């Protein structure tokens, strides 16, 4: 099967079941299937052929899901872009994705006006919700397009820093997802009457794979959060009778801190499980969450390139770990030898759901996939029972509890453009509650001055909000290693102020 058939099969079984809900907007599986057919046929009429790339830059709405499946049903590859990206970040991704059409919304027009002239291959922009778009979809056929899609055909292009700290497109095929979906549905005991509330953006692999595809596989409901806040989460759980939450540790840490009187004022008895992914979670906060909400907390360790490596299942998990391996897993030392159980080493894994490649980057692909094994660059430990504990990245990439990876060099490049900055280093300062706090240490030029607010405002002009340092510390000098390089490890151990 492929992703096109996945939706069609579910829609034929449960046509009237609610597939997607956001506030008062409810989409049945029949409407989802037929409208995505209309989008697919419209794209084909615009000249999209099997294997072409179509970019998606949209808010997290039912229309995002419908249009993504329209792209897939046309046999095209969906290049998923970050709705929070700024023009300097978006332009290279849009250009390098080789997308011929961009599906977006009117609200992105001002930002795109400076980007689109530099994307020669892009020949059409479709703005969802506008009259021309509505007319195009309404006049298109609701029948399934006759495109021969095979499992090995490319389906999704995700953008990530990846293991190497280089922003590249990760290519996954239809078979990547079809091979992992039955496993996660079984391990999380997903039923047709489940309502899955996702706290992850859909352009991230776990957002797309678990929040979107997993419910579709089972015929369950995808509930979309209008905006992130503890109140919004509780409101949505109560209103939609959500049974499962999928998010990052930061979200669940915040939920664990909600006072019990507030929790008692909501009917959240439907909630049975949370799935935490994207960064290392705290066993302390996960235990608090379980006790306060009466649910089961599961943790997943995965990467954009290798969807899931280990998983804590509903009836087989240990707090403080990311569960047992789903992929074939080795833990290796620096010489490539397996370490004894309980020792720390690099996670090296392989599975049918591994990425096909980094898009148009065979040399980078060869650096991480060796003899069929994916080298994660992550230090882990397998305990005596076979549960995996994530330790840290071997690279300097920052992974806050929000789960979105930040490349220090990208932030430092922007900071060094500020006329008052002489030297800078961006690191993740360790905090038990907040995980790694993105922190910029700055040495100012002699005779120059700057404030924290000035530095942040300067960063926001070029960086997505999540990349803007949460802490900014002005220092007289940087600590150095014996070789004269900035001692990032020492900086990362600086206590939060």
Taking the whole predicted model, whether its pTM rises above 0.75 is answered as yes
How many domains is the chain partitioned into structurally? 2
Q: Which of 222-226, 478-482, 493-497 has the lowest mean pLDDT?
A: 493-497
* Separation between Cα atoms, residue 183 and residue 189, nearest integer Å: 10
Please name the residues in contact with 451: beta carbons below 8 A apart, sequence gap of 6 or more. Answer: none
Please name the residues in contact with 95: beta carbons below 8 A apart, sequence gap of 6 or more. Answer: 118, 119, 121
Q: Are residues 149 and 254 in the same domain?
A: yes
The CATH number covering residue 255 comes to 3.40.50.12780
Phi and psi at residue 14, to the nearest 5°: -130, 65
Nearest CA to 7 among 38, 34, 25?
Answer: 34
Nearest CA to 106 among 131, 77, 86?
Answer: 131
Q: What is the pLDDT of residues 171-225, one digit of tens each?
A: 999 999 999 999 999 999 999 999 999 988 999 999 999 999 999 999 999 999 9
Within a domain: 395: no
Within a domain: 118: yes
The CATH number covering residue 450 comes to 3.30.300.30
HEC-encoded secondary structure of 90-145? HHHHHHHCCEEEEEEEHHHHHHHCCCHHHCCCCCEEEEECCHHHHHHHHCCCCCCC
How confident is the model over 357-365, as a mean pLDDT? 94
Q: Are residues 23 and 73 in the same domain?
A: yes
Q: Are residues 276 and 425 in the same domain?
A: no
Pairing of strands 388-393, 373-382: antiparallel
Domain end marker among 338, 360, 378? 378
Contact between 60 and 83 under an 8 Å Cβ cutoff? The reply is yes
Q: Which of 177-186, 223-232, 401-410 has the lowest mean pLDDT?
A: 401-410
Pairing of strands 18-22, 25-28: antiparallel
Q: Are residues 319 and 458 in the same domain?
A: no
pLDDT at 189: 97
pLDDT at 396: 66
Within a domain: 141: yes
Query: Is 471's pLDDT higher than 60?
Result: yes
Within a domain: 389: no
pLDDT band at 374 (very low <50, low <70, confident <90, very high): very high
Q: Are residues 338 and 431 in the same domain?
A: no
What distances in angstroms separate CA 50 from CA 5, 24, 54, 177, 357, one per listed residue? Answer: 16, 35, 11, 19, 19
Tell me which residue range forms the domain holding 327: 3-378
* Separation between Cα atoms, residue 304 and residue 487, nearest integer Å: 29
Q: Are residues 298 and 222 in the same domain?
A: yes
Within a domain: 248: yes
Q: What is the pLDDT of residues 26-51, one digit of tens each?
A: 999 999 999 999 999 999 999 999 99
Q: Could you give the dihedral angle defined by the CA atoms of residues 320, 256, 61 and 277, in that order, rounded to the nearest 10 degrees? A: -10
pLDDT at 497: 43
Q: Are residues 357 and 481 in the same domain?
A: no
Q: Are residues 436 and 317 in the same domain?
A: no
Contact between 122 and 100 under an 8 Å Cβ cutoff? The reply is yes
pLDDT at 433: 67
């Amino acid at each position: 099967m492929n992703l096109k058939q996945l939706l069609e099969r579910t829609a034929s079984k449960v046509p009237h079941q609610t597939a997607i809900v956001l506030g008062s907007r409810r989409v049945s599986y029949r409407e989802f299937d037929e409208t995505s057919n209309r989008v697919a046929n419209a794209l084909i009429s615009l000249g999209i052929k099997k294997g072409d790339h179509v970019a998606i830059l949209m808010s997290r709405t039912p229309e995002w899901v419908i249009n993504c499946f329209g792209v897939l049903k046309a046999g095209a590859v969906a290049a998923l872009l970050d709705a929070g990206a700024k023009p300097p970040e978006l332009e290279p991704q849009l250009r390098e994705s080789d997308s011929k059409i961009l599906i977006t919304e009117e609200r992105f027009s001002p930002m795109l006006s400076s980007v689109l002239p530099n994307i020669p291959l892009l020949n059409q922009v479709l703005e969802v919700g506008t009259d021309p778009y509505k007319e195009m979809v309404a006049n298109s056929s609701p029948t399934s397009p006759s495109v021969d899609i095979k499992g090995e055909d490319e389906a999704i292009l995700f953008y990530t820093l990846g293991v190497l700290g280089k922003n590249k497109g990760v290519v996954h095929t239809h078979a990547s997802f079809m091979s992992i979906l039955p496993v996660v549905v079984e391990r999380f005991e997903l039923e047709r009457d489940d309502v899955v509330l996702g706290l992850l953006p859909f352009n991230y692999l776990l957002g797309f794979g678990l929040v979107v595809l997993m419910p579709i596989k089972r015929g369950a409901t995808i509930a979309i959060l209008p905006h992130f806040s503890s109140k919004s989460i509780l409101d949505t759980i109560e209103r939609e009778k959500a049974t499962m939450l999928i998010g990052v540790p930061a979200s669940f840490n915040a939920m664990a801190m909600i006072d019990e009187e507030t929790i008692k004022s909501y009917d959240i008895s439907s909630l049975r499980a949370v799935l935490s992914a994207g960064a290392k979670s705290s066993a302390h906060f996960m235990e608090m969450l379980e006790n306060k909400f009466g649910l089961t907390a599961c943790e997943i360790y995965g990467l954009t390139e290798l969807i899931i490596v280990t998983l804590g299942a509903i009836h087989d998990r240990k707090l403080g770990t990311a569960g047992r391996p789903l992929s074939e897993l080795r833990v290796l030392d620096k010489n490539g030898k397996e370490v004894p159980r309980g020792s720390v080493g690099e996670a090296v894994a392989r599975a049918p759901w591994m990425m096909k490649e980094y898009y148009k980057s065979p040399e980078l692909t060869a650096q991480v996939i060796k003899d069929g094994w994916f080298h994660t660059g992550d230090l882990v430990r397998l305990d005596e029972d076979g549960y995996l504990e994530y330790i840290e990245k071997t690279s300097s990439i920052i992974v806050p509890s929000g789960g979105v990876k930040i490349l220090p060099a990208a932030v430092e490049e922007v900071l060094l453009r500020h006329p008052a900055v002489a030297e800078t280093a961006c690191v993740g300062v360790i905090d038990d509650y907040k995980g790694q706090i993105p922190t910029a240490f700055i040495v100012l030029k002699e005779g120059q001055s700057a404030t924290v607010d000035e530095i942040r405002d300067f960063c926001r002009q070029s960086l997505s909000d999540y990349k803007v340092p949460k802490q900014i510390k002005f220092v007289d000098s940087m600590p150095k290693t014996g070789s004269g390089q900035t001692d990032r490890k020492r900086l990362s151990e600086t206590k939060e102020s």
